[in-house]
Structure 1
């Protein structure tokens, strides 16, 4: 069982995206702010598998949920 704490970098790795700090910041800057009323998993820039991963992580309150919430918050500013 993986008991390591997930980070923004590991979330981006899991999503198949470049995961270094500069790439994460660039992605967030490019796609922010999310429109009000748009759930993070429903944003148009995710692939179907990325969207499903985010949705499942939140719905199942998985160990990814906290960092997905952090990404959501960062993308709304």
Structure 2
């Protein structure tokens, strides 16, 4: 039996956040980059329930862990703003 896989939009829905691609891009650009020493679930912008979910999924290597890792990586990179000439 294959383990279920989740998408980034479904993670945002699970977290109770807007999940359209533009919403995800806005969320990531407004909250990144996270400091390297800061664990994802410790970021100031999560509610206690969201933080617990993210922490537990990673600690338990649960179904959502892969997409939580993806979000973590996205929040670690500096967002690209504006167009370059």
TM-score range, shorter chain: over 0.9
CA distance in 1, matches of 2:35, 2:46: 15
Q: Deviations over 1:20-63 (max 9, x none)?
A: 00000000000000011000000000000000000000011001
The structure with the larger Rg is 2
Matched, 1:49 2:45: no
CA distance in 1, matches of 2:4, 2:69: 18
Unaligned runs of at least 5 residues, structure 1: none
CA RMSD in angstroms, aligned pairs only: 0.9
Please give the TM-score of this superposition, normalised by the length of structure 1.
0.94
Unaligned runs of at least 5 residues, structure 2: 78-85
Matched, 1:65 2:65: yes
Within a 5 Å distance, the mapping from 1:1-77 to structure 2 comes to: 4-77=4-77
CA distance in 2, matches of 1:5, 1:52: 20
Equivalent pairs, count: 75
Structure 1 moving runs of 4+ over 4 Å: none
